[in-house]
Amino acid sequence: MICRAVARGRTAGIRLGIGDDAAVLRVPQGHEILVTTDFSLEGVHFRREWHPAASVGHRCLARGLSDIAAMGGEPRAAFLSLALPAGLPQRWVDEFVRGLLALAKKYGVTLAGGDTAQSPARVLADIVVVGSAPKGKAITRAGARPGDVLYVTGELGGSAAALDELYRGRKISAKKFARHFHPEPRVAVGCFLRERGWATAMIDLSDGLSTDLHHICEESGVGAEVLAEAIPSHHAASLEQALNGGEDYELLFTTRPGRKVPQKIAGVPVTRIGKIARSGVFLTRNGERENLAPGGWEHFRR
C-alpha cells in the first residue's frame, strides 16, 4: 500500500494530505482551478511485461500533467486511486510510486490524497491532477480562427514507434524511446504561451496529431491544412506514426498570423506545421492535397 508518509511531505499550498476525508488546497488569489482525470489500466494503457513499474508511475502522472500543460496551467496537486491485485510484489508498487513521485517532485506537485483498493486481477490506476491559471486565461481548444498558424512542440511518433517494436516482441532501449517510457509534459511551454497570451487554442497530443487536430477544429468551428514535410517526426517513426500515433504528449497550438514564435520555448523545439482554414482538415504531401481523417488511436489495438 502507499505509505502515508509519502503524502506528508507537503508543500505550502496543501493543508491536508492523505489522512482526512478530503484534501484542502489553497488557490492563488485571482486564479481558477483546473481539474483533469486519467485512467492508467493494465492491458489497456500499459503492460507489466513491457513497461517497468517506474515508467508506469511516471506515465500515469504525465498524462494528467500534460492536460494541465495544454490549458497553460500550473499543476499543484495530484490524487492517485490505485487498485492492486493480491499477488503483486511490493517491489512493483514501490517502483511505481517512485516513478510517479520523481515526476511530481520535478513539477512541484504534491501527492495530496487518493484511494486504494484490492483489484480482482490487474493494476488499475486513476490519476487526478489539480492545477490553476489566472481567471479567464486558461487556453481552451475553442479559440482558433481561419488564418491562424499551427505549431507543434518536440517530435511526433516516437511513442507509437516504441509500441510497434514492443508488439513485434523486440527489446527496445528506454533511452532511445524516452518519449514512450518517460514522456515529459510540456508544462513550461504551456505556461509561457499562456503568460504571453500567444496561443489562441491548444491541446496535448495524447490521441495522435490527426485526431487531436480534429478536436481543435471541432471546438473552434474551423478547418486546418497540414504540410506533411513540415511535421517533426521522431527519428524512428514513420509519417503514419507521427500523424496517428498517440501518447507523445507534445502540445499542438495555434497563434494569430502575425505572431513571431521562437524556434524553441523553454528549451523545447517548436515547429510550424500548417494553418487554420475555414473548413475541412487536409494534409498536403508531395504537393498533393488529401483529407486528413482522425487516425483513431486506440490503446493496444486488440
Per-position b or e across 218-244, b if 16+ CB within 10 A of its CB: eebebbbbbebeebbbbebbeeebbbb
Which residue, 172 or 203, is less far from a copy of itself as judged by CB? Answer: 203
Please report whether residue 278 would count as binding a copy of itself according to CB under 8 A.
Answer: no
Which residue, 76 or 234, is less far from a copy of itself as judged by CB? Answer: 76
Q: What is the DSSP string of 217-245?
A: HHHHT-EEEEEGGGS-B-TT--HHHHHH-
Q: Which three cell numbers stand for residue 175?
A: 533511452
What mask of x and - would describe binding to a copy of itself in positions 50 to 89, judged by CB under 8 A?
----------------xxx-xx-x---x-x-x-x------
As measured in angstroms, the least distance from the Cβ of 76 to a copy of itself is: 10
Which residue, 39 or 282, is less far from a copy of itself as judged by CB? Answer: 39
Angle of CA points 257, 252, 282, to nearest 5°: 75
Contacts of a copy of itself in 223-252 (CB under 8 A):
none
Q: Considering only residues 3, 9, 19, 290, which one is a binding residue for a copy of itself as defined by CB under 8 A?
A: 19
As measured in angstroms, the least distance from the Cβ of 30 to a copy of itself is: 9
Under DSSP, is residue 180 helix (H, G, I), strand (E, B) or coil? Answer: helix
Please report whether residue 46 would count as binding a copy of itself according to CB under 8 A.
Answer: no
Question: Which of these ranges, 13-21, 97-105, 166-174, 254-262, lies near a copy of itself under the rule CB under 8 A?
Answer: 13-21
In contact, 72 and 139? CB cutoff 8 Å: yes
Please report whether residue 118 would count as binding a copy of itself according to CB under 8 A.
Answer: yes
Please report whether residue 114 would count as binding a copy of itself according to CB under 8 A.
Answer: yes
Binding residues vs a copy of itself (CB under 8 A): 15-16, 19-27, 31-39, 41, 43-45, 66-68, 70-71, 73, 77, 79, 81, 83, 112-115, 117-122, 124, 126, 128-131, 133, 135, 138, 140-142, 202-204, 219, 299
